[in-house]
Amino acid sequence: MTIQAIYENGVFTPTHPVDLPDKTPVEFDPKVIGAEADDALAQRRIYQLLARRYDTGQTDTAARHNEHQP
């Protein structure tokens, strides 16, 4: 079941009626929806990827600079 809600003043209010009894405990992971949230998430993923270090085993990459030049 997916329930969309609006967060305001510290409370999540569903945007549509929810078929659950009152005071039913639930657990969820909030996911911000909308174009701005998608752009921010994509940017974070790119920065995470760029922040990774890769060990190629080469100690002097500059020495191999011209190796693949025509």
Mean pLDDT of the chain: 84
DSSP letter for 11, please: E
Query: Would 34 be classed as within a structural domain?
Result: yes
Query: Would 3 be classed as within a structural domain?
Result: yes
Query: Would 2 be classed as within a structural domain?
Result: yes
Domain limits for position 40: 1-50
Query: Would 32 be classed as within a structural domain?
Result: yes
| pLDDT score at 13 | 92
Cβ atoms of 39 and 33 within 8 Å: the answer is no
Query: Would 68 be classed as within a structural domain?
Result: no
Number of domains into which the chain is organized? 1
DSSP letter for 13, please: E
pLDDT at position 25 over 90: yes
**What pTM, to 2 d.p., does this model score?**
0.43
